[in-house]
Protein backbone atom coordinates (compact mmCIF):
# COMPACT_ATOMS: atom_id res chain seq x y z
CA UNK A 1 0.00 0.00 0.00
CA UNK A 2 1.27 3.45 -0.91
CA UNK A 3 1.57 5.39 2.36
CA UNK A 4 3.57 8.27 0.87
CA UNK A 5 0.74 10.83 0.97
CA UNK A 6 -1.09 12.20 3.99
CA UNK A 7 -4.79 13.14 3.66
CA UNK A 8 -5.59 15.63 6.46
CA UNK A 9 -8.98 17.30 6.76
CA UNK A 10 -10.59 19.92 8.95
CA UNK A 11 -13.60 19.03 11.07
CA UNK A 12 -16.35 19.59 8.48
CA UNK A 13 -14.34 18.23 5.55
CA UNK A 14 -13.32 15.17 7.59
CA UNK A 15 -16.93 14.20 8.25
CA UNK A 16 -17.91 14.77 4.65
CA UNK A 17 -15.02 12.78 3.17
CA UNK A 18 -15.42 9.86 5.56
CA UNK A 19 -19.08 9.61 4.58
CA UNK A 20 -18.89 10.29 0.83
CA UNK A 21 -15.29 10.22 -0.36
CA UNK A 22 -14.08 13.04 -2.58
CA UNK A 23 -15.04 14.03 -6.12
CA UNK A 24 -13.82 16.90 -8.32
CA UNK A 25 -17.07 18.84 -7.94
CA UNK A 26 -16.75 18.79 -4.12
CA UNK A 27 -13.85 21.25 -4.28
CA UNK A 28 -14.54 24.99 -4.57
CA UNK A 29 -11.06 26.39 -3.84
CA UNK A 30 -7.52 25.19 -4.48
CA UNK A 31 -4.85 26.90 -2.37
CA UNK A 32 -1.13 27.27 -3.01
CA UNK A 33 1.48 28.04 -0.34
CA UNK A 34 4.64 30.11 -0.43
CA UNK A 35 7.83 28.12 0.02
CA UNK A 36 10.01 28.63 -3.07
CA UNK A 37 11.74 25.39 -4.12
CA UNK A 38 9.71 23.30 -1.67
CA UNK A 39 6.97 23.30 -4.31
CA UNK A 40 9.05 20.97 -6.47
CA UNK A 41 8.37 18.15 -4.01
CA UNK A 42 4.66 18.19 -4.91
CA UNK A 43 4.83 19.36 -8.53
CA UNK A 44 3.76 15.95 -9.85
CA UNK A 45 0.83 15.92 -7.42
CA UNK A 46 -0.32 19.32 -8.67
CA UNK A 47 -0.01 18.11 -12.23
CA UNK A 48 -2.20 15.03 -11.81
CA UNK A 49 -4.84 17.02 -9.92
CA UNK A 50 -5.24 19.65 -12.63
CA UNK A 51 -4.54 17.66 -15.78
CA UNK A 52 -6.39 14.45 -14.88
CA UNK A 53 -8.60 14.62 -11.81
CA UNK A 54 -10.16 18.04 -12.49
CA UNK A 55 -10.32 17.50 -16.24
CA UNK A 56 -13.88 17.91 -17.47
CA UNK A 57 -15.00 19.93 -14.46
CA UNK A 58 -17.68 22.50 -15.34
CA UNK A 59 -18.29 24.30 -12.03
CA UNK A 60 -16.30 27.45 -11.18
CA UNK A 61 -13.13 26.76 -9.21
CA UNK A 62 -11.23 29.48 -7.33
CA UNK A 63 -7.44 29.33 -7.19
CA UNK A 64 -5.57 31.39 -4.61
CA UNK A 65 -1.88 31.38 -3.78
CA UNK A 66 1.05 33.45 -2.68
CA UNK A 67 4.63 33.45 -3.96
CA UNK A 68 5.48 30.18 -5.75
CA UNK A 69 2.00 28.94 -4.80
CA UNK A 70 0.50 31.55 -7.10
CA UNK A 71 2.99 30.81 -9.89
CA UNK A 72 2.06 27.13 -9.96
CA UNK A 73 -1.68 27.90 -9.85
CA UNK A 74 -1.29 30.36 -12.72
CA UNK A 75 0.35 27.55 -14.69
CA UNK A 76 -2.45 25.18 -13.69
CA UNK A 77 -5.08 27.66 -14.96
CA UNK A 78 -3.82 27.42 -18.53
CA UNK A 79 -5.45 25.30 -21.22
CA UNK A 80 -2.79 22.57 -20.96
CA UNK A 81 -1.90 22.41 -17.24
CA UNK A 82 0.40 19.39 -17.54
CA UNK A 83 2.64 21.09 -20.09
CA UNK A 84 2.50 24.43 -18.27
CA UNK A 85 3.37 22.96 -14.87
CA UNK A 86 6.22 20.95 -16.37
CA UNK A 87 7.59 24.09 -18.04
CA UNK A 88 7.42 26.03 -14.77
CA UNK A 89 9.17 23.29 -12.81
CA UNK A 90 11.86 22.89 -15.47
CA UNK A 91 12.59 26.61 -15.70
CA UNK A 92 12.64 26.97 -11.91
CA UNK A 93 15.00 24.02 -11.49
CA UNK A 94 17.41 25.30 -14.12
CA UNK A 95 18.09 28.69 -12.57
CA UNK A 96 21.82 29.40 -12.60
CA UNK A 97 23.84 32.06 -10.82
CA UNK A 98 27.42 32.99 -11.54
CA UNK A 99 29.26 34.79 -8.78
CA UNK A 100 27.57 36.34 -5.78
CA UNK A 101 23.78 35.96 -5.69
CA UNK A 102 22.39 39.50 -5.44
CA UNK A 103 18.82 40.84 -5.77
CA UNK A 104 19.38 42.10 -9.33
CA UNK A 105 20.38 38.62 -10.49
CA UNK A 106 17.45 36.93 -8.75
CA UNK A 107 15.02 39.44 -10.23
CA UNK A 108 16.47 38.80 -13.70
CA UNK A 109 16.07 35.03 -13.32
CA UNK A 110 12.49 35.39 -12.08
CA UNK A 111 11.58 37.69 -14.96
CA UNK A 112 13.05 35.14 -17.33
CA UNK A 113 10.83 32.42 -15.83
CA UNK A 114 7.72 34.59 -16.02
CA UNK A 115 8.40 35.61 -19.62
CA UNK A 116 8.86 31.98 -20.62
CA UNK A 117 5.93 30.48 -18.73
CA UNK A 118 3.41 33.32 -18.92
CA UNK A 119 3.57 35.06 -22.31
CA UNK A 120 0.65 37.28 -23.28
CA UNK A 121 -1.26 34.43 -24.94
CA UNK A 122 -1.10 32.35 -21.75
CA UNK A 123 -2.16 35.28 -19.58
CA UNK A 124 -5.24 35.65 -21.78
CA UNK A 125 -5.96 31.93 -21.34
CA UNK A 126 -5.81 32.29 -17.56
CA UNK A 127 -8.04 35.35 -17.43
CA UNK A 128 -10.62 33.82 -19.78
CA UNK A 129 -10.54 30.25 -18.45
CA UNK A 130 -14.10 28.84 -18.52
CA UNK A 131 -13.76 27.27 -15.05
CA UNK A 132 -10.73 28.59 -13.17
CA UNK A 133 -10.73 31.94 -11.37
CA UNK A 134 -7.15 32.79 -10.47
CA UNK A 135 -6.08 35.12 -7.65
CA UNK A 136 -3.03 35.96 -5.57
CA UNK A 137 -1.97 38.40 -2.89
CA UNK A 138 1.09 40.54 -2.27
CA UNK A 139 1.94 42.97 0.53
CA UNK A 140 2.37 46.72 0.14
CA UNK A 141 5.15 47.79 2.47
CA UNK A 142 5.22 50.90 4.62
CA UNK A 143 8.27 52.57 6.09
CA UNK A 144 11.67 50.88 6.22
CA UNK A 145 10.29 47.51 5.10
CA UNK A 146 9.75 49.08 1.68
CA UNK A 147 13.37 50.10 1.20
CA UNK A 148 15.61 48.28 -1.27
CA UNK A 149 18.65 49.34 0.73
CA UNK A 150 19.42 46.09 2.54
CA UNK A 151 20.38 47.47 5.99
CA UNK A 152 17.31 49.74 6.08
CA UNK A 153 15.01 46.94 4.86
CA UNK A 154 16.50 44.62 7.47
CA UNK A 155 15.63 47.08 10.23
CA UNK A 156 12.09 47.36 8.88
CA UNK A 157 11.71 43.58 8.87
CA UNK A 158 13.20 43.31 12.36
CA UNK A 159 10.60 45.80 13.56
CA UNK A 160 7.87 43.72 11.90
CA UNK A 161 9.26 40.58 13.55
CA UNK A 162 9.01 42.20 16.98
CA UNK A 163 5.47 43.39 16.26
CA UNK A 164 4.51 39.85 15.27
CA UNK A 165 5.93 38.52 18.54
CA UNK A 166 3.41 40.70 20.37
CA UNK A 167 0.46 40.14 18.03
CA UNK A 168 0.09 39.03 14.42
CA UNK A 169 -2.48 41.78 13.95
CA UNK A 170 0.19 44.43 14.54
CA UNK A 171 1.70 43.57 11.15
CA UNK A 172 -1.01 45.85 9.79
CA UNK A 173 1.32 48.71 10.79
CA UNK A 174 4.09 47.99 8.23
CA UNK A 175 2.08 45.94 5.72
CA UNK A 176 -1.15 46.05 3.73
CA UNK A 177 -2.49 43.05 1.82
CA UNK A 178 -3.12 43.61 -1.90
CA UNK A 179 -5.44 40.99 -3.36
CA UNK A 180 -5.26 40.59 -7.14
CA UNK A 181 -8.15 38.62 -8.60
CA UNK A 182 -9.87 37.52 -11.79
CA UNK A 183 -12.00 40.51 -12.84
CA UNK A 184 -15.03 38.31 -13.51
CA UNK A 185 -15.54 37.50 -9.84
CA UNK A 186 -14.27 38.70 -6.46
CA UNK A 187 -14.13 35.72 -4.06
CA UNK A 188 -15.15 36.23 -0.45
CA UNK A 189 -11.79 35.38 1.12
CA UNK A 190 -10.26 36.86 4.29
CA UNK A 191 -13.22 36.70 6.71
CA UNK A 192 -12.53 38.65 9.91
CA UNK A 193 -9.06 39.48 8.61
CA UNK A 194 -6.80 41.44 10.94
CA UNK A 195 -5.16 43.11 7.94
CA UNK A 196 -6.47 45.83 5.64
CA UNK A 197 -6.99 44.33 2.18
CA UNK A 198 -7.06 46.26 -1.08
CA UNK A 199 -8.65 44.40 -4.02
CA UNK A 200 -7.23 44.87 -7.51
CA UNK A 201 -8.63 43.23 -10.68
CA UNK A 202 -6.05 41.39 -12.76
CA UNK A 203 -5.54 42.23 -16.43
CA UNK A 204 -2.85 41.72 -19.04
CA UNK A 205 -1.13 44.95 -18.05
CA UNK A 206 -0.56 44.06 -14.39
CA UNK A 207 -0.43 40.25 -14.42
CA UNK A 208 3.38 39.91 -14.60
CA UNK A 209 3.87 42.72 -12.10
CA UNK A 210 1.61 40.99 -9.58
CA UNK A 211 3.24 37.57 -10.09
CA UNK A 212 6.70 39.05 -9.66
CA UNK A 213 5.64 41.00 -6.57
CA UNK A 214 4.09 38.03 -4.79
CA UNK A 215 7.35 36.12 -5.25
CA UNK A 216 9.67 39.00 -4.28
CA UNK A 217 11.28 37.53 -1.17
CA UNK A 218 12.47 40.19 1.28
CA UNK A 219 16.25 40.78 1.33
CA UNK A 220 16.62 38.35 -1.59
CA UNK A 221 14.83 40.40 -4.26
CA UNK A 222 13.86 44.01 -4.81
CA UNK A 223 10.27 45.06 -4.27
CA UNK A 224 8.02 45.80 -7.23
CA UNK A 225 6.78 49.33 -7.88
CA UNK A 226 4.28 50.85 -10.26
CA UNK A 227 1.78 47.99 -10.54
CA UNK A 228 -1.01 49.19 -12.86
CA UNK A 229 -4.30 49.50 -11.03
CA UNK A 230 -2.73 49.18 -7.57
CA UNK A 231 -1.97 51.91 -5.05
CA UNK A 232 1.49 53.49 -5.30
CA UNK A 233 4.13 51.80 -3.20
CA UNK A 234 6.54 48.89 -2.88
CA UNK A 235 5.08 45.40 -3.13
CA UNK A 236 6.74 42.27 -1.78
CA UNK A 237 6.14 38.57 -1.22
CA UNK A 238 2.53 37.75 -0.38
CA UNK A 239 3.81 35.09 2.00
CA UNK A 240 4.78 37.78 4.51
CA UNK A 241 1.14 37.90 5.64
CA UNK A 242 -0.17 34.70 4.03
CA UNK A 243 2.72 32.25 4.07
CA UNK A 244 0.37 29.28 3.88
CA UNK A 245 -2.91 30.94 2.88
CA UNK A 246 -5.78 29.86 5.11
CA UNK A 247 -8.13 32.83 5.30
CA UNK A 248 -11.15 31.13 3.78
CA UNK A 249 -14.70 31.41 5.05
CA UNK A 250 -15.74 28.46 7.23
CA UNK A 251 -19.29 28.92 5.96
CA UNK A 252 -18.61 27.74 2.43
CA UNK A 253 -20.23 24.56 1.18
CA UNK A 254 -17.25 23.19 -0.72
CA UNK A 255 -13.86 21.83 0.21
CA UNK A 256 -10.63 23.83 0.10
CA UNK A 257 -8.09 21.50 -1.52
CA UNK A 258 -4.56 22.19 -0.38
CA UNK A 259 -1.72 20.28 -2.08
CA UNK A 260 1.07 21.18 0.33
CA UNK A 261 4.65 20.25 1.09
CA UNK A 262 3.94 20.26 4.84
CA UNK A 263 1.24 18.94 7.16
CA UNK A 264 1.34 22.21 9.10
CA UNK A 265 -0.34 25.45 8.05
CA UNK A 266 1.82 28.44 9.07
CA UNK A 267 -0.14 31.71 8.86
CA UNK A 268 2.64 34.20 8.10
CA UNK A 269 6.33 34.37 7.17
CA UNK A 270 7.31 35.52 10.66
CA UNK A 271 5.41 32.65 12.27
CA UNK A 272 8.04 30.14 11.12
CA UNK A 273 10.00 31.08 14.25
CA UNK A 274 8.66 31.55 17.80
CA UNK A 275 5.87 31.93 18.71
CA UNK A 276 5.23 29.54 15.77
CA UNK A 277 1.53 30.22 15.41
CA UNK A 278 -0.85 27.81 13.72
CA UNK A 279 -3.74 28.77 11.47
CA UNK A 280 -7.09 29.72 12.97
CA UNK A 281 -8.90 26.38 13.47
CA UNK A 282 -12.14 28.00 12.30
CA UNK A 283 -10.55 28.53 8.87
CA UNK A 284 -9.46 24.89 8.63
CA UNK A 285 -12.91 23.35 8.88
CA UNK A 286 -13.47 22.85 5.14
CA UNK A 287 -9.83 22.21 4.25
CA UNK A 288 -8.22 19.04 2.89
CA UNK A 289 -4.42 19.11 2.98
CA UNK A 290 -2.43 16.67 0.86
CA UNK A 291 1.14 16.42 2.16
CA UNK A 292 4.12 14.11 1.75
CA UNK A 293 4.45 11.70 4.68
CA UNK A 294 7.58 11.77 6.87
CA UNK A 295 8.47 8.35 5.46
CA UNK A 296 8.30 9.61 1.89
CA UNK A 297 10.47 12.62 2.71
CA UNK A 298 13.07 10.48 4.47
CA UNK A 299 13.50 8.40 1.32
CA UNK A 300 14.21 11.40 -0.92
CA UNK A 301 17.79 12.25 -1.92
CA UNK A 302 19.41 13.99 1.07
CA UNK A 303 16.37 12.95 3.12
CA UNK A 304 14.43 16.13 2.43
CA UNK A 305 12.49 18.06 -0.18
CA UNK A 306 14.21 20.86 -2.14
CA UNK A 307 14.66 24.19 -0.41
CA UNK A 308 15.65 27.71 -1.41
CA UNK A 309 18.71 27.38 0.86
CA UNK A 310 20.05 24.89 -1.69
CA UNK A 311 21.29 27.85 -3.73
CA UNK A 312 23.77 28.40 -0.88
CA UNK A 313 24.29 24.72 -0.03
CA UNK A 314 25.26 23.98 -3.64
CA UNK A 315 26.85 27.37 -4.32
CA UNK A 316 29.07 27.07 -7.39
CA UNK A 317 27.74 23.56 -8.00
CA UNK A 318 24.54 24.23 -9.92
CA UNK A 319 24.71 20.90 -11.74
CA UNK A 320 24.54 19.03 -8.41
CA UNK A 321 21.62 21.12 -7.19
CA UNK A 322 19.76 20.67 -10.49
CA UNK A 323 20.26 16.89 -10.36
CA UNK A 324 18.97 16.78 -6.76
CA UNK A 325 15.94 18.90 -7.55
CA UNK A 326 15.08 16.92 -10.68
CA UNK A 327 15.26 13.61 -8.84
CA UNK A 328 13.21 14.89 -5.88
CA UNK A 329 10.56 16.26 -8.25
CA UNK A 330 10.45 12.97 -10.17
CA UNK A 331 9.90 10.99 -6.96
CA UNK A 332 6.76 13.07 -6.47
CA UNK A 333 5.00 10.80 -8.98
CA UNK A 334 4.40 8.48 -6.03
CA UNK A 335 2.37 11.24 -4.37
CA UNK A 336 0.34 11.68 -7.56
CA UNK A 337 -0.33 7.92 -7.71
CA UNK A 338 -1.35 7.85 -4.05
CA UNK A 339 -3.82 10.67 -4.56
CA UNK A 340 -5.46 9.15 -7.59
CA UNK A 341 -5.72 5.75 -5.91
CA UNK A 342 -7.27 7.35 -2.84
CA UNK A 343 -9.96 9.33 -4.64
CA UNK A 344 -10.79 6.80 -7.38
CA UNK A 345 -10.96 3.73 -5.15
CA UNK A 346 -12.67 5.56 -2.30
CA UNK A 347 -9.94 4.54 0.15
CA UNK A 348 -9.54 8.22 1.05
CA UNK A 349 -12.51 7.68 3.37
CA UNK A 350 -10.41 5.50 5.66
CA UNK A 351 -7.04 7.18 5.05
CA UNK A 352 -8.10 10.73 5.90
CA UNK A 353 -7.08 12.05 9.31
CA UNK A 354 -7.54 15.17 11.42
CA UNK A 355 -5.89 18.34 10.16
CA UNK A 356 -6.47 20.15 13.47
CA UNK A 357 -4.56 17.48 15.34
CA UNK A 358 -1.51 18.04 13.12
CA UNK A 359 -1.56 21.75 13.97
CA UNK A 360 -1.29 20.93 17.67
CA UNK A 361 -4.70 22.46 18.38
CA UNK A 362 -6.64 19.34 19.23
CA UNK A 363 -8.78 16.95 17.23
pLDDT digits (tens, 9 = 90+) for 104-130: 999 999 999 999 999 999 999 999 999
Sign of the torsion formed by the C-alpha atoms of 327, 333, 336 and 342: negative
Q: What is the rounded distance in angstroms from the CA atom of residue 338 to the CA atom of residue 17?
A: 16
Q: What is the rounded distance in angstroms from the CA atom of residue 116 to the CA atom of residue 2?
A: 36
Q: What is the rounded distance in angstroms from the CA atom of residue 315 to the CA atom of residue 318?
A: 7
Residue 30 is predicted with a pLDDT of 97
Which helix or strand (DSSP H or E) is residue 158 part of? Answer: helix 150-166
> What are 354's strand-pairing partners?
9
pLDDT per position in the chain (363 positions), as tens? 469 999 999 999 999 999 999 999 999 999 999 999 999 999 999 999 999 999 989 999 999 999 999 999 999 999 999 999 999 999 999 999 998 999 999 999 999 999 999 999 999 999 999 999 999 999 999 999 999 999 999 999 999 999 999 999 999 999 999 999 999 988 888 877 889 899 999 999 999 999 999 999 999 999 999 999 999 999 999 999 999 998 887 666 799 999 999 999 999 999 987 767 888 888 899 999 999 999 999 999 999 999 999 999 999 999 999 999 999 999 999 999 999 999 999 999 999 999 988 876 543
For 226, the 3-state DSSP assignment is coil
Pairing status of strand 255-259 against strand 27-32 = parallel
The string of pLDDT tens digits covering residues 190-236 is 877 889 899 999 999 999 999 999 999 999 999 999 999 999 999 99
Q: What is the rounded distance in angstroms from the CA atom of residue 47 to the CA atom of residue 305?
A: 17
- CA proximity to 362, closest of 292, 295, 284, 250: 284
- CA proximity to 239, closest of 253, 221, 226: 221
For 21, the 3-state DSSP assignment is coil
- CA proximity to 308, closest of 234, 215, 211: 215
Residues with Cβ within 8 Å of 230's Cβ and at least 6 positions away in sequence, in order, are 140, 178, 180, 198, 200, 206, 210
For 35, the 3-state DSSP assignment is coil
Q: Tell if the pTM clears 0.85, that is, is over it.
A: yes
Residue 77 Cα distances to 66, 70, 309, angstroms: 15, 10, 29
Q: Are 5 and 342 in contact (CB under 8 A)?
A: yes
Q: Are 92 and 101 in contact (CB under 8 A)?
A: no
Q: What is the rounded distance in angstroms from the CA atom of residue 352 to the CA atom of residue 69?
A: 23
Q: How many residues does the chain have?
A: 363
Residue 251 is predicted with a pLDDT of 64
Amino acid sequence: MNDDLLFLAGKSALKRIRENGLGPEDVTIVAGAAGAAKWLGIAELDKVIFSEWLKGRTKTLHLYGTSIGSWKLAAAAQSDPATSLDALADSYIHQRYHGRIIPEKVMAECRKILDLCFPATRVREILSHPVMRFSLSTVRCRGAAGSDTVPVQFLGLAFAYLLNRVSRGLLAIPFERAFFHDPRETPAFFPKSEFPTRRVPLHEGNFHHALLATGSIPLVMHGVRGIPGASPGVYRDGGILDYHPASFSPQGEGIVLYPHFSARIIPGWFDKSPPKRSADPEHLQNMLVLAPSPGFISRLPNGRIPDRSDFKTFYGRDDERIAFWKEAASRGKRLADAFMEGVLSGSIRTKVGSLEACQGIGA
